[in-house]
Amino acid sequence: MTLRCVGSWRDKKNQQYFIVQNEENEDYRCGIIIDETNVRKLYFANDSSCSSLSMKSAFDSYYFHSGTIAKPFAPCAFPVWMRGEFDSMKVSSHELQYLQHHVGAVPLISHCVQTFDDRVMVFSETK
């Protein structure tokens, strides 16, 4: 998935909003940004409408933690069901490579930090 930022703005209450476009299927998504100490939280609506978007009603959310650790200190293995080679992704036991195939794209490498039932927490870096 490749998301392109279309724009951002603040409402009357100073809440920051943004719109992104998925370049693979041209769908648009509205999002809000919440900045807390050492954490930036992005909450996405399931469409381009921002009218009723909130932290509680979000379709999807991402948390970005700031830090200075170069590699995860407690790495784990990606689950077997995730491993393999896909269109733009290669997953081994300890590394996920996201290979974007457009001009100027930077490869993204993710390392397993912690596994849950159907989700994996990762540490990601560009190469």
**pLDDT tens across 11-28, in order?**
999 999 999 998 888 899
Signed CA dihedral, 113, 119, 125, 127: sign only? positive
Give the CA-trace dihedral at 66, 71, 74, 75, to 10 degrees: 120
**pLDDT tens across 60-114, in order?**
898 988 766 555 555 789 999 999 999 889 999 888 998 877 777 778 889 988 8
pLDDT (0 to 100) of residue 33: 93
Nearest in space to 34 (alpha carbons), one of 52, 17, 11: 17
Residue in the block written with tokens 């269109």: 87
Environment class of 4 (CB within 10 Å of its CB; exposed 0-12, middle 13-18, buried 19+): exposed
